[in-house]
Amino acid sequence: MPGQDRRPWRHFAIWIALALVIAVPLMVAAESPLLAWRRPVYIIAGFSGIVAMCLLLLQPLLAAGHLPGFRGGRGRRAHRWTGATLVMLVLVHVAGLWITSPPDVIDALLFVSPTPFSVWGVMAMWAIFLMALLAIRQRRSRSWHLGHRAAALVVIVGSVVHALLIEGAMEPLTKAVLCAFVLVASLLVIFGHRIRAPSR
């Protein structure tokens, strides 16, 4: 059928678009002149945060089964593995910043940092940890899904605002495009994907 003939090309186009949205900000950030005098641990910490933001674009699409080749159980398994990777990236991000400047990290964790982006980043961090704890639970009730989605909303909004407020290695335009895709994809899944778990 004609629709079936076009489907491989549509799937290919989806992956190409995702690859561009993710790869271009990473490549541009890697060429940033702001990295010239930074310590390696700081660069690793920063790029851990950038890669985490890129994975946030995939997470809702995997959970909802919207990515070609990752539908149903395969998509949910990939969603869990990507979530575990996100937790590790956040830990590397925070640990690297702690090594370079412990006082700044302490101020951020205590919500007394003079930089607004720190508050949003810490909110997103704790929400990610909460989601990881929820993921350990085997029982997937309706309340579980609602809690998971509420935490995901905090993660997305906190991460996007955190990234947009930082003037760092990421180039403003490609960063804004990535953040817009993350926000739109996440909100469409959070508010548009039906919860099928039982209420009890």
The answer to whether 182 touches 152, Cβ cutoff 8 Å, is no
Task: Give me the phi and psi of 70, to 5 degrees please.
Answer: -130, 60
CA atoms within 13 A on the CB side of 128: 29
Quote the pLDDT of residue 196: 59
User: What pLDDT digit, counting tens, does each position of 116-142 carry?
Assistant: 999 999 999 999 999 999 888 766 788
Note the pLDDT tens digit of each residue in 45-55.
Answer: 999 999 999 99
Q: 0.85 exceeded by the pTM?
A: yes
Spans in the chain with pLDDT lower than 70: 1-6, 138-139, 194-200
SS (H, E, C) 147-199: HHHHHHHHHHHHHHHHHHHCCCCCCHHHHHHHHHHHHHHHHHHHHHCCCCCCC
Number of neighbouring beta carbons within 10 Å of residue 28: 16
